[in-house]
Amino acid sequence: MEFTPVIGLEVHAQLKTRTKIFCGCSTAFGAPPNTHTCPVCLGMPGVLPVLNKKVVDYTIKMALATHCAVQPESRFARKNYFYPDLPKGYQISQYELPIATNGYLDIEVEGRSLRIGITRIHMEEDAGKLIHDPDRPISRVDLNRTGTPLMEIVSEPDIRSPEAAGEYLRRLRAILRYLDISDGNMEEGSFRCDANISIMPEGSTVFGTRTEVKNLNSFKHVEKALYYEIARQKEILLDGGQVAQETRLWQPDKGQTVSMRGKEDAHDYRYFPDPDLLPLVVDDAWVDRMRAQMPELPAQRQARYIADYGLSSADAKVLTGSRELSDYFEACLTEFDQPKTVANWIMGDLLGLLNAKGVEIENTPVSPENLAGLLKLLDADVISGKIAKTVFEAMAATGQPAKTIVAEKGLVQVSDTSAIDPVVDAVIAGHPNEADRYRGGQKKLMGFFVGQVMKQTRGKANPKVVNEILRKKLG
C-alpha cells in the first residue's frame, strides 16, 4: 500500500530591524546577557508596548512578494503560557486577524512548477533564551532576544514531498534575502521551521493525523526528519495503529524524532486581543509605498535572464538562487558583457571553488572585477583557455587581478609563428613514427602533436596557430 505525504510548514523569520518590536532595545546579536533589555521587554508591570513601524513595513513587503492580501485592519493578541524565557507570561502575536492572508509561492521541483498556498503571515515577538549549564543542574536566562521581531509564515498543507519542502524553504529564504528583511540563517536561528506532516493512502483526499516536528536547524535536517516521519507513520498505519497528534523533536545526531508533548490546542493558550495595543490600520497608501520599494525578486530575475541573456531556465535558476550570487553575476556583466560565458565560469569554476572551500559567495576570493578581467584576456586571445584555468586558480589564491598574474608569470599566449615554428619542428623531428602514421592517414594523431607543442610551450602557444602550423608541416 502506497501513501502520499501531506506537509505544511510554519516558518519563523527574524526581521532585520535595528530595534525590537515593542521597545527601543537593540536587536544586535552577541552582547553580554541581559544588556539589551528594558522594562518593556522584561515584562515589568505598568509598561506599554509601542509597535515598531519597520516591522510592519517588512511584513507588508513579504506579503506582497508572496501574493498575500494585506489586511486593512489587523490585531495583536496575547498567547498565554508559562516558561522561564517569557517574563510577561504571554507572547504578543497576531491570531484571529493577521496582517496578511491567502497568498502563494511558486516553486520548481524536478522541472515541474508547483504552487504552494500561504495561509497567513503575521508578526510576533521572540522569547528569551535559556542557557543550560553543562556541569551543574542549573539554567540561566538571557533576555536579550526577548522582543526581537519575528514574522511567521504559515503554508497550506500543499506540499507533497520532502524535496518540495526543502525547495519551498529555499525559495522563501531567497525572497527574504532579496527583500533584505531577514538574514534567513537556519543554523543561527534567524530562520526557523516547524514541519507538520501526515500521510494518506495514495489517491485519497482525506488528510491523516499530523505530527509537528521541531528542532530542524538546516535544510538537510528538514528533509531527513520528514523522511523519517513518513516511514514512522507508514509503519504505524500498516500495523493497523493510529498516528497520535503530537509535537515531536528531531534528534539530529540519532536521525530520529521523539515525542515531546501532546499537541496543544489554540484554546490552551487563552488567546485574547492585547488591550495595550491598538488595532493596526494599514491603508492603501502604506501598501503602495512598500510596493514602490520592492526590488526585483528571484522569479522575475530568472525570467529576465532567460529573456534577455538567452540563458536556460536551469542556469537562470542557479544564478538567481541567492541575491548575492545574482548580484555577482550582474557585476561581472557590467565589465564583460557575454552572459553565457560569464554564467558558465560562475557555475563551473567559481561555484566549484567555493564549494570545495566551503565559502559563501559573499566571501569569494575572486571578485567580479577579477573574473571579468580574466574573461577579457581570454576573449582577446591574450591567454589560452588552458592558461585561463591556471590564472583563475592563482586569482583565487592571491586575490590579484588576472592582468598582474599573467604579466608576472609570463603567461601571455604566444601567437607569433616565428616563435612556434621551431617548437613544432622539434616535436615532429622527435616523433618520426607518429609523423609517418599521420601522413599515412591517422589524422587523429593531430591531437597528440598539439598536446606535445602545448607541453613544450607550457600551455602558452595559441592552439589555433599550433594547429595551422602542424597541418602545414605534416602535409
Residues of the shown chain interacting with ligand ADP in the complex, contacts defined by CB under 6 A: 6-10, 154-157, 196-198, 207, 210, 212
Looking at the Cβ atoms of 125 and 212, the one nearer to ligand ADP is: 212
Looking at the Cβ atoms of 149 and 162, the one nearer to Zn ion is: 149
Looking at the Cβ atoms of 157 and 166, the one nearer to ligand ADP is: 157
Pairing outcome for strands 211-216 and 246-251: parallel
Q: Which does 452 bind (CB under 5 to 8 A by kind): Zn ion, ligand ADP, none?
A: none
Give the position of cell 531527513.
Answer: 224
CB-closest chain residue to ligand ADP: 8
Q: Which does 257 bind (CB under 5 to 8 A by kind): Zn ion, ligand ADP, none?
A: none
Q: Which does 454 bind (CB under 5 to 8 A by kind): ligand ADP, Zn ion, none?
A: none
Nearest Cα to 168, choosing from 221, 238, 117? 117
Looking at the Cβ atoms of 83 and 207, the one nearer to ligand ADP is: 207
Amino acid at 371: L
Pairing outcome for strands 73-74 and 112-125: unpaired
The sign one gets for the Cα dihedral 410, 412, 414, 416 is negative
Site string for Zn ion, 37-56 (x = CB under 5 A): -x-xx---------------
Q: Which does 41 bind (CB under 5 to 8 A by kind): ligand ADP, Zn ion, none?
A: Zn ion
Looking at the Cβ atoms of 23 and 153, the one nearer to Zn ion is: 23
Three-state SS for 247? strand
Q: Rounded to an integer, what is the distance from CA 449 to the centroid of its chain?
A: 47
Largest CA distance in the chain: 100
Q: Which does 371 bind (CB under 5 to 8 A by kind): ligand ADP, Zn ion, none?
A: none
The sign one gets for the Cα dihedral 398, 400, 404, 406 is positive
CB of 360 to Zn ion, least distance (A): 32
Three-state SS for 98? coil
CA distance 289 to 286: 5
* Number of residues in contact with Zn ion under rule CB under 5 A: 5
Q: Which does 23 bind (CB under 5 to 8 A by kind): Zn ion, ligand ADP, none?
A: Zn ion
CB of 341 to ligand ADP, least distance (A): 43
Q: How many CA atoms lie within 13 A of 175 on its CB side?
A: 23
CB atoms within 10 A of CB 82: 7
Give the position of cell 577579477.
Answer: 370
CB of 266 to ligand ADP, least distance (A): 6
Q: List strand residue ranges (DSSP E) for 63-111, in order.
A: 69-70, 73-74, 77-80, 90-93, 100-109
φ, ψ for residue 155, nearest 5 deg: -90, 160
CA distance 401 to 61: 39
Stretch of 30-38, 95-103, 423-431, 442-450 contacting Zn ion, by CB under 5 A: 30-38
Sequence-ordered list of residues with C-beta below 8 angstroms from that of 327, at least 6 positions apart, any chain:
none
Looking at the Cβ atoms of 35 and 313, the one nearer to Zn ion is: 35
CA distance 182 to 14: 6
CB of 91 to Zn ion, least distance (A): 15
CA distance 202 to 59: 37
CB of 112 to ligand ADP, least distance (A): 20
Three-state SS for 38? coil
Amino acid at 64: L
Stretch of 34-42, 121-129, 165-173, 368-376 contacting Zn ion, by CB under 5 A: 34-42
Stretch of 18-26, 77-85, 195-203, 351-359 contacting Zn ion, by CB under 5 A: 18-26
Q: Does 143 engage in binding with Zn ion (CB under 5 A)?
A: no
Q: Which does 8 bind (CB under 5 to 8 A by kind): ligand ADP, Zn ion, none?
A: ligand ADP
CB of 117 to ligand ADP, least distance (A): 8
CB atoms within 10 A of CB 413: 25
What Å distances lie between residue 292 and 61, 288, 296, 303, CA to CA? 10, 6, 11, 20
Q: Which does 38 bind (CB under 5 to 8 A by kind): ligand ADP, Zn ion, none?
A: Zn ion
User: Looking at 7, 9, 23, 470, which residue binds Zn ion (CB under 5 A)?
Assistant: 23
Q: Which does 326 bind (CB under 5 to 8 A by kind): ligand ADP, Zn ion, none?
A: none
CB of 55 to ligand ADP, least distance (A): 21
Q: Which does 25 bind (CB under 5 to 8 A by kind): ligand ADP, Zn ion, none?
A: Zn ion
Q: Does 474 engage in binding with Zn ion (CB under 5 A)?
A: no
CB of 326 to ligand ADP, least distance (A): 29
Q: Does 25 engage in binding with Zn ion (CB under 5 A)?
A: yes
296's grid cell:
526585483
CB of 156 to ligand ADP, least distance (A): 5
Q: Are 179 and 62 in contact (CB under 8 A)?
A: yes
CB of 6 to ligand ADP, least distance (A): 4
Q: Give the binding site for Zn ion (CB under 5 A).
A: 23, 25, 38, 40-41
